[in-house]
Structure 1
């Protein structure tokens, strides 16, 4: 399908798609299904090509508008929005290279990958996190080695938390150079779900976000052709994440903003359904505080996202996405506390939408960048530390 050209129409498509997957959230949260039906609906919607340039058949969205779409989906089905974001984590950096002259190998890679999304409706996912290290690139234990003739690479290792396990067609795997144990450089490789040597463990039974279909991934002598080296360049991953960190973690911000919005909306609905309850000045003040917190977080998220679109890679844009991630991570749990006070039993009754949302918003702190990492980045920015130096961070 052809995606709408006007953003308002795209946002309506996201809202309609969100409404279609919203009824699936409860059963998936209860582990009654694997959550893959929501991703089937997202595939059929065409939204997997949101970031793909228009000349390549996509919508060509900038980062700020992408966050708005992600928040719309997150307000309907938080786990599916997070999975949807993992696809765009690996598409985003590629899409942003549109219009940039690349080497023949990189250009061929870009054409192939975007074609898989647009023409094949293929879903991609990121495979970075490792046990004990999370999503940090430095010190990665998954390794690659080169073939003698230079035509392919061989990957070995284990990833601990891989979203879209069993749902995605391809996984972009981060790996360190196994031929040079002293090197800190990381490269990314596109591994197909059905490549020999690729395996997945059981989907993790999480206390929230079961619908992300997250599982461990093993790579046992997985052969990857050179054409599937991300953008045809080795050793660029750490350099990229330091200079332009927004795709490494900032997409979570939009999804969790949507969940916070849904939590507020369901709280208001619950309060106004009780006769006379909404007329209480105390209750009105509680709702007012929730509204102010949500509005402040949304304003920061929108400003940060639009700044990335306008000034991608600038120090201020990078600082703003860290600030937005931190504030959204703080806002969700605060709204959850407000909802508990206002809604009582509905907020703790297993299976109630409010109870699920209260659990879900707590997990923004788990996703990178974590609160202390966001604050450290902002502190370094304030004191003039060179934030383009990879040695400044533990990534």
Structure 2
């Protein structure tokens, strides 16, 4: 499928795909489906190649527009939007290098990944989180070493929360060198069917079951040197500190969409009854919800656009953290307002609001967490060197 090139057409495609995904959300949340159907729909819609440059067969989407795509998907199926973002955490960081000449090995890696996505519709996912360490790169226990023939890497370790488990074709695994500094972390592309790769039972969580999240074990998994991310060891933390948007900002679009869904449900519930719609107290509540949502949307969109114009700048990175913090606050706030306006009948298990409120609360769990966002903004305010990896506990 050839993706449209005009932004309005891409957003229309996102809305249409989201409408197809919407009926699946409740079934997955209730445990009656594993959520993989959503990602089949995403594949068939051609969305996996949104961020890949046009010259490589993708849509060449900017980060700001990608944020808006996630918002549209999140309005209709929050878990699917988050799972889709995990694919783009991997692809987006690579797409950022488009147009930049790279060493031959890195060029070959980039071309291979782009071709896997565009020509074969392969889905990628990120495997970083570990028990007791979360998604922080520093302090990671998963290790790698060169094989005796020095043509392969051997990975060992366990990941605790890997989204798209069983749904993706490849997983980009973060690991540190055996015996090396814990801050020198590299990423490797591991295929789902590589010997030594296994997944535990998919976690049954309070929300976001559609992300198909499970533990991952790597038992002497051997991958060729060509699958070292961009063919450079020890660069992961360096990259994250300077350009944290792929680890953080993708979540803001999806969670903004969930907040929008809460607001839309509340408005629909109110307007279904003329008596409620004419109540000045309820109108006041809806006005407050609208103002909060509009402020969050403006911040998220501005952060996305600033990444496009000033990627890696202190201001762009600060905006990313501000947007993530605000969205993590606004979703639950709108949920509380919705309960007050709609009453207990609207939050029964039969209505989507109950699920949306649970989903919104998970924003504070995803990186960067609220205290990390505030730390970043506070350090920026007092002039701390935010390009020094030693500044953070990541």
Contact 1:165/1:200 (CA < 8 Å) preserved in 2? yes
1:49-95 alpha-carbon deviations (Å, 9 max, x no partner): 00000000001011111000000000000000000000000000100
Contact 1:347/1:358 (CA < 8 Å) preserved in 2? no
Partners of 1:345 and 1:299 in 2: how far apart? 31
Contact 1:90/1:124 (CA < 8 Å) preserved in 2? yes
Partners of 2:145 and 2:138 in 1: how far apart? 17
Partners of 1:385 and 1:182 in 2: how far apart? 24
1:271-325 alpha-carbon deviations (Å, 9 max, x no partner): 1112311001100000000000000000000111000001100000000000000
Partner of 1:140: 140
1:13-52 to 2 correspondence within 5 Å?
13-52=13-52
Report whether the alignment pairs 1:196 with 2:190: no
Partners of 1:184 and 1:146 in 2: how far apart? 18
Partner of 1:216: 215
Partner of 1:259: 258
Contact 1:174/1:187 (CA < 8 Å) preserved in 2? yes
1:53-64 to 2 correspondence within 5 Å?
53-64=53-64
Partner of 2:74: 74
How far off is 1:184 after superposition? 2.4
1:2-37 alpha-carbon deviations (Å, 9 max, x no partner): 100100000000000000010000000001010000
How far off is 1:345 after superposition? 2.0
Partners of 2:373 and 2:243 in 1: how far apart? 14
Partner of 1:382: 381
Report whether the alignment pairs 1:98 with 2:98: yes
For normalisation by structure 1, the TM-score amounts to: 0.99
Gapped runs of 5+ residues in structure 2? none
1:276-355 to 2 correspondence within 5 Å?
276-355=275-354
How far off is 1:150 after superposition? 1.7
Partners of 2:231 and 2:263 in 1: how far apart? 45
- SS of the equivalent of 1:368 reads coil
Partner of 2:161: 161
Partners of 2:101 and 2:197 in 1: how far apart? 33
Contact 2:187/2:236 (CA < 8 Å) preserved in 1? yes
1:328-348 alpha-carbon deviations (Å, 9 max, x no partner): 000001000000001112343
Partner of 2:237: 238
Partners of 2:273 and 2:199 in 1: how far apart? 47
**Aligned residues: CA RMSD:** 0.7
Contact 2:139/2:182 (CA < 8 Å) preserved in 1? no
How far off is 1:183 after superposition? 5.0
Partner of 2:228: 229
Gapped runs of 5+ residues in structure 1? none
Partners of 1:248 and 1:362 in 2: how far apart? 19
Contact 1:143/1:176 (CA < 8 Å) preserved in 2? yes
For normalisation by structure 2, the TM-score amounts to: 0.99
Partner of 1:173: 173
Partners of 2:91 and 2:181 in 1: how far apart? 30
